[in-house]
Structure formats: C-alpha cells, structure tokens
C-alpha cells in the first residue's frame, strides 16, 4: 500500500459513521433542549490565539505553519480559545447568558495511543454570562443528562474547586504555585510531598494540602473538609460555593457526583469550579470530558464575564459506548429494493424507485445489471426490508409483487398502490 493516511488519523466507514452520527445527533438534541445554539469557527486560527494563554504543554503539540502571505497559523488544538475569540469579536453586546455549542475536530501532534489521535473531535459548549453556582450546576447536569441519553451508564463525574486549594496556597504565600498545581493535577502524591519539603512554609499548610487533595466522596465528605478549613477564610468561602453548587446540581436532577478536591486541570485559565468525567476501563485515556469555570475572555482582553464550559472527547465517548457493548438504534441504509426481473423492466423499476424516494423512503435499485437471482441476494445483503419485483407477467395485469424479506411472504399489488402501501408499512 503506497498511499497511507497520515499517522494518528482515521477513516470512518459506513457503520461507524452511522454510530457516530447517532451519538452526535443525540447529544446535539440534549444541548438544544437546554437552549444552546450551534456555532462553527475556522479549523485554523492565528497561532497567537493559542500561545496567548500559555498552555505550554499544548504549544509543543500544535500544528503550525506559515501561509503564502507569511502569516503564522495553527490548526486548532482545542475549541475554547476560538469560541472566546468569537465572543470578543461579535457577541459582547448580546444579552446574557449566551449559550453556544460546537462540534468539530481539533489537531494535536502527539504519539497516537488508545483513545488518542492527531485529529480528534470535540463536542462541547460554553455558557457566558451566567452566575455561579446556578450556571455551573446546569452545565454539569447537562453533561450528565447527555451521557444518560446516549445510554452510557458507567461514568463518574468528579467535581472540584480550584479556589479551595488556591486559597490555601495564597494564605501560605507559597511560590511555585503552578508547579504544585501541576503535580496535584497529575495525582502524583509522592512527588508532591517531596516538592513540598523543599518549600519553606509552615508545616500546617503542607499537611492541609496533602489532606485536601485526597478528599474524594459524596456529600458527606463536605463536613470534614469544613472542619479542616476552619481557619482559612478564602478556602472556606470557596468551599461554601462548592456546597451551593451541589444544591443546584441536585435540584437539576443529578446527584451521583463525586466531590474530588484533587482535580486541578492542565490549562491555566480555569479559575473556580472544575469537573472531569471518567469512564474506567478505557485505560490511560479514561477521561472523556473536562470543563469548568474560566477567565479566558479576560485574558484575551475582553470585559470580565463569568464563563463555564466543557467538552466531550467525542472519540472517547464512542469508545466508552463500544466498550460497554451498547447497541445503538441505527437507521437502515435501504428500506426497499426495487428489482427488475428482466432487463426490459429497468425503466419501470427506476420510476418506482423515484416515487419511493420522493416519499422519503430509502430505496435502492439495480445499477449493476445483475441477474434477477443475484438481485435478491444483493437486496438481502443490503438489509432491505421489502423488495419490489417488477416483472413482465405482473405488469401485464398492472401489478408488481412486494416481498417481505423477513417473513418471505409476498403479495401482488396494483402499480398505483405500491408507493402508498410501502409508505404505510414502513412508517408504521
């Protein structure tokens, strides 16, 4: 094979595309019932859009190039920045809150792996100008409802708040906060411990920090955290906000969350509530979604406005469904096959196919000049539910024959009744 697709990219064939379209359509449907409207931004942007917010890790993975005019451009590695750019360009004076969603591919130059590709799809949303914790709660509830709607069951939504840990770090007046946050995000407790040992500050801060990042559980863990944070006003305030968020979430009908104060997230622009969704069993790439509240718009020079968003790693959602062995309700490719019994019946077959298609019925007929016997076999392979047999003998009496491929029963039908009959059978 001399022609190969680029490393880390995929071709999707018929069945897989059907599954992806089903999931995409279902998720869009959920987003739209929450009042989100779709937007679409360019596949490439000015490189500076992605360098401005200094996600250093992402910089190494960016596909960038110069166009013929010498402009530095980049294939988008993520979609939050383009959406923030769009907001600043066009939407600042639109009534708040603004609810937008998107579905599109992103590109990162990394080592392909299970659930990781160089071109991958994200389906996500941004809610700009809502007030915490109501907006955050609704966003997280929507994420949960989305997954329920596509039939995914074994996911976990972990919710944390960066304000709590930052509150401690600030009160401890620690330097190298970024490094510490990175270690927390990584979940590398040993490395974090040795890092903290090198830092000069009161031991009590270190203890609290190590204590906090281990906190994981349902509502009941809030009580102990509250005690731990008694003497730390900033962190306590964040904790109260987190509790209010849980109230909101429960009233929006989702209570199966996990409070996890060890979530930090890689991107620097997150500020308050953060959440991640995991599906265990996906291996190293178990995270199917991540999001939270961020201040990217301010970073880009817009007026400060509260924004919350998240994105599903669409490919990982598909992988999770596959692993869960879900059978998705997929549409048939072909409902009806119109089979000319002999070559002279070709035009009559085309006429019938045309009428069925204009009624919106997926119809196939013979374009390969197959013999009649092969046509039935072919119709069977296509999964057609009905075959219309168009033959000279029937036609002399103004009939055709409709064969039900499941039951093998067939009936003669007057030519002018065929379309109506099939429409009513299929729509039933």
Q: Report the nearest approach of RNA to the CB of residue 391 (Å).
A: 3
Residue 200 exposure: Cα atoms within 13 Å on the Cβ side:
0
Cα maximum dimension of the chain: 99
329 CB burial (10 A radius; 0-12, 13-18, 19+): exposed
**Candidate list 89, 203, 327, 408; residue touching RNA; CB under 7 A:** 408
* Residues 6+ away with beta carbon under 8 Å from 361: 335, 336, 422, 423, 426
Q: Which is nearer to RNA, 304 or 373 (CB)?
A: 373
Starting at the earlier edge strand, list the strands of the sheet with 44-46: 44-46, 72-75, 64-66
The DSSP output letter for 27 is H
**Candidate list 1, 3, 331, 367; residue touching RNA; CB under 7 A:** 1
Dihedral angle at the C-alpha atoms of 225, 231, 232, 233, nearest 10 degrees? 110
Size of the site for RNA (CB under 7 A): 64
Q: What is the C-alpha separation between 382 and 388, in angstroms, rounded? A: 14
Asked if 398 touches RNA (CB under 7 A), the answer is no
Name residues contacting RNA, limited to 409-428 (CB under 7 A). Answer: 410
Q: Report the nearest approach of RNA to the CB of residue 423 (Å).
A: 21
Name residues contacting RNA, limited to 200-259 (CB under 7 A). Answer: none
Q: Report the nearest approach of RNA to the CB of residue 113 (Å).
A: 5
**Candidate list 371, 398, 411, 414; residue touching RNA; CB under 7 A:** 371
Q: Report the nearest approach of RNA to the CB of residue 350 (Å).
A: 17
Residue 167 exposure: Cα atoms within 13 Å on the Cβ side:
21
Using only C-alpha atoms, the chain has a radius of gyration, in whole angstroms, of 28
Q: What are the helix (H) ranges across 252-324?
A: 296-299, 314-323
Q: Report the nearest approach of RNA to the CB of residue 204 (Å).
A: 27
Q: Which of 154, 182, 376, 178 is nearest to 263 (CA)?
A: 182
Which range, of 110-118, 146-154, 158-166, 251-259, touches RNA by CB under 7 A? Answer: 110-118
Asked if 287 touches RNA (CB under 7 A), the answer is yes
Q: What is the C-alpha separation between 165 and 231, in angstroms, rounded? A: 14
Q: Report the nearest approach of RNA to the CB of residue 224 (Å).
A: 28
Asked if 85 touches RNA (CB under 7 A), the answer is no
**Candidate list 141, 182, 297, 361; residue touching RNA; CB under 7 A:** 182
In Å, what is the CA distance from 77 to each residue of 129, 146, 211?
A: 25, 24, 35
Binding mask 257-286 for RNA (x = CB under 7 A): --------xxx---------------xxx-
Q: Which is nearer to RNA, 21 or 370 (CB)?
A: 370
Q: Report the nearest approach of RNA to the CB of residue 77 (Å).
A: 8
Asked if 112 touches RNA (CB under 7 A), the answer is yes
In Å, what is the CA distance from 212 to each residue of 120, 160, 233?
A: 34, 11, 15
Q: Is the peptide bond before 133 cis (omega within 30 degrees of 0)?
A: yes
Asked if 7 touches RNA (CB under 7 A), the answer is yes
**Candidate list 85, 99, 166, 403; residue touching RNA; CB under 7 A:** 403
Q: Which is nearer to RNA, 370 or 425 (CB)?
A: 370
Asked if 313 touches RNA (CB under 7 A), the answer is yes
Asked if 341 touches RNA (CB under 7 A), the answer is yes
Asked if 389 touches RNA (CB under 7 A), the answer is yes
For 48-52, the CB contacts below 8 A with 24+ separation are 48/72, 49/74, 49/81, 49/82, 49/85, 50/74, 50/76, 50/77, 50/78, 50/81, 52/81, 52/299, 52/300
Starting at the earlier edge strand, list the strands of the sheet with 410-414: 363-365, 336-340, 386-390, 399-404, 410-414
Asked if 69 touches RNA (CB under 7 A), the answer is no
Q: Is the peptide bond before 97 cis (omega within 30 degrees of 0)?
A: yes
**Candidate list 44, 103, 120, 254; residue touching RNA; CB under 7 A:** 120
Asked if 79 touches RNA (CB under 7 A), the answer is no
Asked if 290 touches RNA (CB under 7 A), the answer is yes
Site residues, RNA (CB under 7 A) = 1, 4, 6-9, 55, 57-58, 61, 78, 108, 110-117, 120, 122, 182, 185-186, 188, 265-267, 283-285, 287-290, 311, 313, 315-316, 341-342, 368, 370-374, 376-377, 380-381, 389, 391-395, 401, 403, 405-406, 408, 410
């Amino acid at each position: 094979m001399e022609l190969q697709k680029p490393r880390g990219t995929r071709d999707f064939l018929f069945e897989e595309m059907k599954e992806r379209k089903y999931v995409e359509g279902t998720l869009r449907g959920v987003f739209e019932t929450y009042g989100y409207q779709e937007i679409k931004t360019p596949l490439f942007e000015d490189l500076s859009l992605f360098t401005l917010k200094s996600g250093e890790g992402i910089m190494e993975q960016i596909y960038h190039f110069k166009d013929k005019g010498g402009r530095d451009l980049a294939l988008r590695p993520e979609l939050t920045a383009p959406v923030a750019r769009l907001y600043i360009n066009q939407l600042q004076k639109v009534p708040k809150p603004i609810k937008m969603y998107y579905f599109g591919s992103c590109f990162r130059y990394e080592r392909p792996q299970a659930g990781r590709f160089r071109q991958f799809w994200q389906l996500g949303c941004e809610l700009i100008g809502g007030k915490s914790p109501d907006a955050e709660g609704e966003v997280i509830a929507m994420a949960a409802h989305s997954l329920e709607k596509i039939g995914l069951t074994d996911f976990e939504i972990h919710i944390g708040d960066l304000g709590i840990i930052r509150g401690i770090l600030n009160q401890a007046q620690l330097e190298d906060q970024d490094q510490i946050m990175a270690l927390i995000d990584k979940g590398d407790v040993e490395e974090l411990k040795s890092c903290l040992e090198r830092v000069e500050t009161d031991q009590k801060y270190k203890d609290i920090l190590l204590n906090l990042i281990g906190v994981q559980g349902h509502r009941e863990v809030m009580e102990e955290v509250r005690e731990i944070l008694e003497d730390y006003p900033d962190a306590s305030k964040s904790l109260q906000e987190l509790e209010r968020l849980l109230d909101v979430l429960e009233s929006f009908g989702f209570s199966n969350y996990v409070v996890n104060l060890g979530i930090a997230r890689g991107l620097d622009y997150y500020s308050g509530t953060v959440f991640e969704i995991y599906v265990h069993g996906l291996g190293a790439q178990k995270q199917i979604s991540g999001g939270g509240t961020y201040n990217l718009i301010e970073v880009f020079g817009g007026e400060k406005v509260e924004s919350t968003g998240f994105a599903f790693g669409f490919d990982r959602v598909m992988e999770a469904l596959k692993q869960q062995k879900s059978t998705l309700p997929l549409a048939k490719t072909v409902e009806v096959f119109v089979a000319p019994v002999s070559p002279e019946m070709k035009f009559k077959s085309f006429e019938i196919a045309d009428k069925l298609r204009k009624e919106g019925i997926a119809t196939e007929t013979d374009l390969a000049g197959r013999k009649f016997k092969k046509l039935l076999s072919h119709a069977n392979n296509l999964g057609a539910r009905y075959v219309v047999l168009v033959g000279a003998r029937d036609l002399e009496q103004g009939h055709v024959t409709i064969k039900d491929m499941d039951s093998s029963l067939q009936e003669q039908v007057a030519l002018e009744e065929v379309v109506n009959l099939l429409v009513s059978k299929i729509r039933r």
